[in-house]
């Protein structure tokens, strides 16, 4: 029997910077896996209080970094460069590991890590709530992992040990690099998952309403029912979707899908990918953030003001199954 390699993170402390969706899930899972965890957070904020209430040692980021064998940066992308300059670079120990869950800042040169530290990536392919709930069930969420810089000679082992600590090793670990993770993640968000899907839905809604159909019916057909199809994709790919929709729907898929999403769409997707690969998108986003997000705010408000949102809010209010479950009141106790 092969003796398992020693865990390079055993009997060391991990500093997790950030306590949002991913940060909280990673911290809880690492602790439950037997790792010592300290949270690096802004003092006095709601995350600080919540982390303390959930039993974590909490410190300002710079203090949390000191003496940590691994520092996980789980804050928003645009906050990371300043965090690295001010709290991490002056304090992270030589030979320690700096871990990211998304390669944006390293890949696009916004963070240039010190040469005497390991730089690794572990990216769960699911939201933080799922990372936590799957771990609690004794399972895990698949993770991508990568090594950008190996100063200690054990960077790969550290990345895999961290992925195991948050439950990824129970599912699937896929090795990648910072470039591939960053570029494919951005492309998926822009061309399909967020940008592509939201534009397809709103343009479909507009097409039906402009043709004289009721907005409520248009909403159900292009927004509400999308979840049914996405769930089938998620559970079994194209095969399961085709198995569970009608033959009429299948035939419409075959003959009309390519009329909407055609070779021209694919060419425009390639243009989106080119902007991601050559850094155009990153430069635009960084400049937008530095300018105070004027275009971001304007474009976001336009989405929020779209008629589909007004119609949808009214319809969703009549769907009690979408509302958070309320706890049943405790039964009255008869005293006497």
Please check whether residue 101 is in contact with residue 124, taking contact to mean a CB–CB distance below 8 angstroms: yes
- The span from the CA of 316 to the CA of 250, in Å, is 28
22 known member of a binding site: yes
11 is catalytic: no
42 known member of a binding site: yes
| Contact residues for 101 (Cβ-Cβ < 8 A; gap 6+) | 22, 26, 72, 73, 74, 121, 122, 123, 124
Other Cβ atoms less than 10 A from the Cβ of 79: the count is: 14
225 known member of a binding site: yes
Please check whether residue 147 is in contact with residue 119, taking contact to mean a CB–CB distance below 8 angstroms: yes
Question: Which residue in the list 26, 102, 107, 148 is annotated as catalytic?
Answer: 102
179 known member of a binding site: no
256 known member of a binding site: no
Residue 173: beta bridge partners? 143
55 known member of a binding site: no
Q: Which residue has the tokens 């309403």?
A: 209
Across the beta sheet with 143-149, what order do the strands follow? 57-59, 36-40, 13-17, 70-73, 97-100, 118-124, 143-149, 173-175
77 known member of a binding site: no
33 known member of a binding site: no
Please check whether residue 161 is in contact with residue 5, taking contact to mean a CB–CB distance below 8 angstroms: no
By annotation, the residues acting in catalysis are: 102
**Binding-site entries for NADP(+):** 19-22, 42, 47, 128
Binding residues for substrate: 246
Instruction: Mark the binding-site residues for Mg(2+), compressed into ranges.
Output: 185, 189, 221, 225
Binding-site entries: 19-22, 42, 47, 128, 185, 189, 221, 225, 246
């Amino acid at each position: 029997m092969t003796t398992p390699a020693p865990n390079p993170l055993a009997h060391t402390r991990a500093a997790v910077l950030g306590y949002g969706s991913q940060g909280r899930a990673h911290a809880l899972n690492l602790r439950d896996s037997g790792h010592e965890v300290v949270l690096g957070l802004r003092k006095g904020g709601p995350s600080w209080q919540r982390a303390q209430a959930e039993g974590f040692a909490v410190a300002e980021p710079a203090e949390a970094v000191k003496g940590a064998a691994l520092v996980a940066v789980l804050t928003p992308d645009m906050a990371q460069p300043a965090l690295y300059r001010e709290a991490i670079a002056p304090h992270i120990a030589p030979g320690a590991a700096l871990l990211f869950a998304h390669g944006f800042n390293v890949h696009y040169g916004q963070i240039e890590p010190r040469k005497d530290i390991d730089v690794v990536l572990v990216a769960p392919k699911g939201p933080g709530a799922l990372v936590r709930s799957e771990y609690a069930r004794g399972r895990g969420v698949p993770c991508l992992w990568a090594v950008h810089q190996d100063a200690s000679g054990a960077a790969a082992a550290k990345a895999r040990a961290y992925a195991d600590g948050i439950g990824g090793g129970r599912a699937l670990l896929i090795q990648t690099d910072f470039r591939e993770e960053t570029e494919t993640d951005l492309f998926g968000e822009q061309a399909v998952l967020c940008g592509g899907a939201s534009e397809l839905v709103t343009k479909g809604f507009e097409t039906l309403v402009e043709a004289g159909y009721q907005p409520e019916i248009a909403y159900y057909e292009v927004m509400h029912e999308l979840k049914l199809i996405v769930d089938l994709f998620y559970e079994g790919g194209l095969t399961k979707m085709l198995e569970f929709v009608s033959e009429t729907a299948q035939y419409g898929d075959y003959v009309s899908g390519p009329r909407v999403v055609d070779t021209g769409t694919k060419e425009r997707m390639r243009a989106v990918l080119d902007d991601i690969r050559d850094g155009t998108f990153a430069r635009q986003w960084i400049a937008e953030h530095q300018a105070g997000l004027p275009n971001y705010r304007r474009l976001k408000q336009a989405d929020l003001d779209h008629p589909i949102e007004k119609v949808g809010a009214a319809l969703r209010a009549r769907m009690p199954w979408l509302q958070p479950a309320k706890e049943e009141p405790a039964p009255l106790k008869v005293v006497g």
